[in-house]
């Protein structure tokens, strides 16, 4: 988020705070008002986290490559495991 977007978000949260305060004045300590206050507090916390978060990666940025070795793995580690999504979990495995 850019600084101006964070400023807009803070302004909107401030406006919402005024509205919730007006509701509290009119409805008192109603459960719905308390829930709105909790939601408002969560918005304040999330806005603070956006401000502290590092900027997102730019599109096309180089990502770390993870290499998976082609070496033979231990087949015994998978014996008895379900082959979910492959459609033949009830058949015995063949090598």
User: What is the reported pTM?
Assistant: 0.54
pLDDT for the residue numbered 52:
86
Q: What does the pLDDT average to over 2-8?
A: 88
Average pLDDT value for residue range 62-85 = 75
Residue 79 placed within a domain: no
**What values do phi and psi take at 46, rounded to 5?**
-65, -35
Per DSSP, 86 falls in state: S
What range defines the domain where residue 32 resides? Answer: 3-52
Per DSSP, the three-state class of 71 is: coil
93 occurs within a structural domain: no
Within-domain flag for 33: yes
Note whether residue 65 is domain-resident: no
Question: Is 71 within a domain?
Answer: no
Q: Is residue 64 part of a domain?
A: no
Q: What's residue 58's pLDDT?
A: 67
Residue 24 in this model has a pLDDT that exceeds 70: yes
| Residue 73, in any domain of the structure | no
User: Which among 44, 37, 42, 34 has a CA at the least distance from the CA of 13?
Assistant: 44
Domain count, the chain: 1
23 within domain boundaries: yes
**pLDDT at position 92 over 70:** no
């Amino acid at each position: 988020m850019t600084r101006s977007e964070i400023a807009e978000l803070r302004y909107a949260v401030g406006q919402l705070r005024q509205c919730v305060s007006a509701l509290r004045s009119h409805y008192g300590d109603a459960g719905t008002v308390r829930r709105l206050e909790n939601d408002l507090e969560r918005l304040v916390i999330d806005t603070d986290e956006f401000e502290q978060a590092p900027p997102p990666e730019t599109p096309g940025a180089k990502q770390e490559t993870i290499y998976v070795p082609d070496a033979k793995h231990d087949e015994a580690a998978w014996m008895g495991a379900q082959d979910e999504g492959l459609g033949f979990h009830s058949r015995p495995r063949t090598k």
